[in-house]
Amino acid sequence: MKDRTGLTLSGAVSRRTLMMGATAGMAALAMPKVLRAQEKPTLVTSIRSLSNPYHAVWKTGAEAYAKWAGLEHVTLVSEGNSEKGIADIKAMLAKTGGNMVLNSDPNDTPDARPIVEACAKAGAYVVTQWNKPADLHPKDFNPNYVSHIEFDGIASGKTIAEILFKTIGGKGGIVALGGLISTTAAIERKKGLDAALAANPDIKLLDFQVANWKSTEAFDLMGNLLTRFGDDIKGIWAANDDMGSGALEALRAENLAGKVPIVGVDGIKTAVDAVRTGEFACTVTSDPFWQGGMGLAIGYNAKIGKFDPVKEPPEHREFYGKAVLISHDNVEEYYKTNVDAKPEIDWNDLWGRVTGAIRT
Amino acid sequence: MTIHTEPLKSVSDIERTTLMTFLPGRIATMFGGRRWRSLAPLAVLVVLCLLIAIANPNFIELRNLVRLANSAAVPLTLAMGLTFIILMGSIDLSVEGTLSVSAMVVVLLAANDSNGNDYGWWAVLAAIVAGTAMGFVSGLVQTMLRIPSFMATLGMWFIGLGLSVYMLGGSAIRLNDASIRELALARFLGLPLAVWVATGAFLLAAVIQYHTKLGRHILAIGGDEDVAKLSGVNVVRVRVTAFALAGFFFGIAGVLAAAQLGQSHAVIGDGRLFAAVTAVVVGGTALTGGEGGVVNTLIGVLIVTVLANGMILLGISPYIQQTVQGLMIIAAVALSLDRVRLRIVK
């Protein structure tokens, strides 16, 4: 199970990152106190809620970066209310006089525009993630609108499909559980699955069913699919981990858990645990810890002039981040660094996870 | 199959003879009228099973029948509770909220991956008590504050949901107690224990409806509350008891759902309300109250479950499954209730 060399290596990387962090921290301390008080902007995170694990981890990442950079950090929570989200940001802009860096996951797509406009007007630097209207571009708000980050659903759907196919030996039947039909993520991830299927003619998609992102629906669906296809099902592709875990419980009720591999997206704890026990073949995560910290890092580095947003290439302004794959090979390491402890990320590596410009 | 309660409303012959209602009424009378109608849900179920079995013989495989029973367990237990409320002419929308509270209580008190509790079967008891308490409060709110059950239970739905979100911190918590998980994983005579629990719930509900004063009073209130009151039925007490009873069944369903999924999250109840109401109504229990019963609901649950199973077996595209479900609901209700006798359709 455990990859000893991998673990040692990861330890070394962590120590190096830690030392770099310590050096930067000492450098910051060495600066005159008055200067710091004048120049240091406030870091602001704007997210939807703290009651879902995804945004809770996002906040941890943001706090880790703020601590590393030695900056003040404030978290604003919109509670799913767009107006509250925007009003809170405007209040923060007024309070800091525009001397702030905002990393925002706008509650809804249209929210991004008023947020960006308010920040540009006040002279603050902003990074948005996931949601923005298609006609809103960072380059139109130079230099304040630094970047917009998303994660490529097609790539996620394709990656997990390929790992599933490899796990079942490159041939046989699979069933797929899709998300709510109308959502972008569901459509994109299915496209990824279709692309992987096209490249692997020996894999047969027995059926594609929709379980609306929910484990409960996936549980019932999976039972029915087992009746229809029985032992022909060699693997299960799920558009998110929650549905995958529902399918897993349906398998468990039939003593099939671990015999039919499952793949999913999100990296929720249940799925990570299942990857460890071999019941899931893999899951991918956008890594909210990285999103929370790096969004602030990109904005802050633009603010202090480490780079000029105007001179950055388009794929640094609107880009897909690299999703983190959690599979049998790295799950123990992932568990150790992300579940048991806080992850170590090199906050100076601003563009390390850029996989390309966002498709238009 | 059903108990025959003669409606207290009388309908004049003139109203019967409008063109729209004349034909189906006549056809129904030709085949034996009321009798035929009360058997309609059963007929729908049988025809459905036959059609699916012809199209895909896998349907009547023993393994599939076991799976059917297993996926009917939670909806059946829920619908048992809901039947009593609908029989009274009320509605209980708190199904999802109560279920998630009960699932939350059982997971947080039994061995789990979030805190150190390990109260075993006491957790199950606590969960059922929590469900019953939620129902009891719904009943009190309805009768004491005189708030219609629709609004009272809508409120309880969100109170329950909010409570679960808060207690679970928005995440999914795993149920690690092996003996509780046995409810879903262990089998007795080839059937998962959850199916036996649901069967027990059905028998209990049947006894309450057909052999207790409470059951008769619930029917009487649904038939005509004023008449029931004048006949000496303590309406407030019956209503509160019925809501608590519904909460009791929802509590059991919550435990079963948590055991089946091996985890609990706030949205564990999502979609259950619609499924439960559909099952009750398709089974032939009138939303106006006073007509139908738990046996109807059993058939209704089976129709809904068989239909969901059948659509997968027949390979019907997920994009049109909901449409088929909607058509089935309208068809089943149209067949099972004597529309001719309805004076007003709201």
Shortest distance between the Cα of A122 and any Cα of chain B, in A, equals 35
The pTM of this model reads 0.75
CB contact under 8 A, B67 and A224: yes
Residue of A53, A226, A228 lying closest to B170 (CB–CB): A53
Domain span at B174: 41-341
Q: Which two tokens stand for residue B290?
A: 């006073």
Which residues are A176's β-sheet partners?
Answer: A208, A237
Q: pLDDT at residue A13 above 70? A: no
For residues A208-223, give the mean pLDDT: 88
The 3-state DSSP composition of chain A as helix, strand, coil percent (nearest 5) reads 50, 20, 30
Look at the alpha carbons of A155, A158, A162, A167 in this order and tell me if their dihedral is positive or negative. Answer: positive
Subunit contact B313:A227, Cβ cutoff 8 A: yes
Judge whether B158 lies within some domain.
Answer: yes
Does B209 reside within a domain? yes
Q: Which of A12-16, A167-171, B98-102 has the lowest mean pLDDT?
A: A12-16
Regarding predicted confidence, which is higher, A17 or A300?
A: A300
Please tell me whether residue B288 adopts helix, strand or coil conformation.
Answer: coil
Residues A121 and A161 in one domain: no
Confidence of residue A14 (pLDDT cuts 50, 70, 90): low
- Residue A231 forms part of a structural domain: yes
Q: Is B273 within 8 Å of B100 (Cβ atoms)?
A: no
Chain B residue with CA closest to A248: the answer is B261
Query: For residue A275, how many other CB atoms are within 10 A of its CB?
Result: 27
Res. B83: pLDDT tops 90: yes
Pair (A208, A222) in one structural domain:
yes
Would you state the pLDDT for residue A32?
A: 46
Q: At what angle do helices B294-313 and B318-336 cross, to 10 degrees?
A: 150
The winner for highest mean pLDDT among A17-31, A281-295, B288-302 is A281-295
What is the percentage of chain A residues whose pLDDT exceeds 90?
58
pLDDT at position A118 is 95
B170–A217 CB contact, under 8 Å: no
Mutation pick from B59, B62, B71, B114 vs chain A, by most beta carbons of A within 10 Å, is B71
Identify residue B139 by its one-letter amino acid code.
Answer: G
Please write the tens of the pLDDT for every residue from A41-51.
Answer: 999 999 987 76
Q: Are residues A99 and A215 in the same domain?
A: no
pLDDT for residue B327 is more than 70 = yes
Query: Among B113, B166, B171, which would you mutate to test the A interface (most chain A Cβ atoms within 10 Å of its Cβ)?
Result: B171
Number of domains in chain A: 2
**Residue A313: per-residue pLDDT:** 93
- Mean pLDDT for chain B overall: 84
The tally of domains found in chain B comes to 1
Sign of the four-CA dihedral A105, A108, A110, A111: negative
Q: Does residue B189 form part of some domain? A: yes
Report the alpha-carbon distance of residue B259 to residue B268 in Å, rounded.
12
| pLDDT, tens digit (0-9, with 9 covering 90-100), for A90-143 | 999 999 999 999 999 988 888 999 999 999 999 999 999 988 888 999 999 989
Say yes or no: A160 and A145 in one domain.
no
A236 has pLDDT over 50: yes
pLDDT at B326: 83
Q: Please tell me the predicted confidence (pLDDT) of residue B39.
A: 79
Distance set, CA A85 to CA A59, A77, A88, A296 (Å): 16, 7, 5, 17
Q: What is the mean predicted confidence (pLDDT) over B100-107?
A: 94
Q: Are residues A302 and A263 in the same domain?
A: no
Q: Give the model confidence (pLDDT) of A316-355 as tens digits.
A: 999 999 989 999 889 998 888 888 888 889 999 999 999 9
Task: Let me know: does B213 contact B231? Beta carbons within 8 Å.
Answer: no
Cβ–Cβ below 8 Å for B312 and A245 = no
Which residue among B64, B171, B319 places its CB closest to the CB of A181? B319
B28 within some domain: no
Among the residue ranges A48-62, A78-92, A259-273, the one predicted with the least confidence is A48-62
Record: contact A228-B170, CB cut-off 8 A: no
At B339 the pLDDT is 56
Name which of A210, A227, A270 is nearest B64 (Cβ-Cβ).
Answer: A227
| B contacts of A204 (beta carbons < 8 Å) | none
Nearest residue on chain B to A227, alpha-carbon basis:
B64
Q: Please choose, from the candidates A103, A106, A158, the residue with its C-alpha nearest in 3D space to the C-alpha of residue A136.
A: A106
Nearest to A58 by CA among B170, B127, B264: B170
A255 occurs within a structural domain: yes
Taking residues A164-171, report their average pLDDT: 93
- Is it the case that residue B268 has pLDDT exceeding 60? yes
Tell me the CA distances in angstroms from B229 to B8, B57, B147, B209, B239, one per residue in order: 14, 53, 19, 19, 12
Longest Cα–Cα distance of chain B, Å, equals 70
In this prediction, residues B119-126 reach a mean pLDDT of 92
Chains A, B: CB pairs < 8 Å: 97
**Mean pLDDT, residues B186-200:** 91
* Most A-contacting residue of B312, B313, B322, B324 (CB-CB within 10 A), to test interface: B312
Q: In terms of domains, do A115 and A224 share one?
A: no
- The answer to whether residue B114 neighbours chain A at the CB level (below 8 Å) is no
**Pairing mode, strands A172-178 and A145-151:** unpaired
Q: Are A73 and A53 in a shared domain?
A: yes
User: By the 8 A CB rule, do B164 and B101 touch?
Assistant: yes
Min CA distance, A233 vs chain B (Å)? 14
Put simply, the chain B residues between 62 and 81 with a CB less than 8 A from any chain A CB are 63-64, 67, 70-71
Tell me the residue range of the domain where A252 lies.
153-285
Q: Which residues on chain B are in Cβ contact (under 8 Å) with A208? A: 318
User: Does B244 lie at the interface with A, CB-CB under 8 angstroms?
Assistant: no
Q: Please tell me the predicted confidence (pLDDT) of residue A9.
A: 44
User: Lowest mean pLDDT: which of A4-13, A222-231, B87-96, B314-323?
Assistant: A4-13
Which one has a higher pLDDT value, A276 or B316? A276
Residue B6 in domain? no
A252: pLDDT strictly greater than 80: yes
Closest residue in B to A182 (Cα) is B319
Considering the domain boundaries, does residue B34 fall inside one? no
Q: Is residue A198 part of a domain?
A: yes
Average the pLDDT over A264-279 and give the result: 90
Is residue B117 in some structural domain? yes
Between CA B308 and CA B311 the distance in angstroms is 5
Where do the H-state alpha helices sit in B190-234? 193-211, 213-223, 225-230
| B165 contact residues in A (CB cutoff 8 A) | 51
Per-residue pLDDT at B6: 46
Instruction: Tell me the ipTM for this assembly.
Output: 0.74
Question: Could you tell me if B276 and B95 are in contact, meaning their C-beta atoms sit under 8 angstroms apart?
Answer: yes
Cβ separation B172–A208 shorter than 8 A? no
A50/B318 Cβ within 8 A: no
- CATH number, domain with residue A124: 3.40.50.2300
Residue B269 pLDDT class (50, 70, 90 cuts): confident
Same domain, A118 and A41: yes
- The mean pLDDT value for B14-27 works out to 46
> Looking at residue A36, what is its pLDDT?
43
pLDDT tens digits for range B134-153: 999 999 999 989 888 899 99
Report residue A75's pLDDT band, with 50, 70 and 90 as the boundaries.
very high
Residue A129 domain-assigned (yes or no):
yes
Q: B174 and A208 in contact by Cβ < 8 A? A: no
Output the 3-class SS for A175-219. EEEECCCCCHHHHHHHHHHHHHHHHCCCEEEEEEEECCCCHHHHH
Whether A122 and A198 map to the same domain: the answer is: no
pLDDT tens digit string along A176-196? 999 887 777 888 899 999 999
Tell me the chain B residues in contact with residue A253 when contact means C-beta distances shorter than 8 Å: 70, 184-185, 192, 260
Judge: B263–A215 Cβ closer than 8 Å, yes or no: yes
> Count of alpha carbons within 13 Å of A175, Cβ hemisphere only?
27
The verdict on a CB contact (< 8 Å) between B70 and A253 is: yes
Give the nearest chain A residue to B59 (CA atoms). A227
Q: Are residues A76 and A42 in the same domain?
A: yes
Residues A70 and A177 in one domain: no
**Nearest C-alpha in B relative to A177:** B318
Give me the pLDDT at residue B10, please.
44
Alpha carbon distance B78, B257 (integer Å) = 11
Same domain, A293 and A147: yes
B184 touches A at CB < 8 Å: yes
pLDDT of residue B14: 42
pLDDT for B153-165, tens place per residue? 999 999 998 888 8
Distance from CA of A261 to the nearest CA of B (A): 18
Average pLDDT over every residue of B56-82:
90
Q: Which residues of chain A lie closer than 8 angstroms to B257, CB-CB?
A: 216
Least confident stretch, A73-77, A261-265, A271-275, B33-37: B33-37
Q: For residue B7, what pLDDT is reported?
A: 47
Query: Residue range A137-153: average pLDDT?
Result: 93
Q: Look at residue A328 and tell me if it is in a domain.
A: no
Say if B14 falls within a structural domain.
no
Q: Can you tell me the mean pLDDT for A70-81? A: 89
User: What pLDDT, in 10s, does the model give residues B244-260?
Assistant: 999 999 999 999 999 99
pLDDT score recorded for residue B241: 95
CB A56 within 8 A of CB A84: no
Q: Which of B67, B261, B262 sits opposite A226 (nearest CB)?
A: B67
3-class DSSP assignment, residue B267: helix
For residue B94, give the CATH number of its domain. 1.10.3470
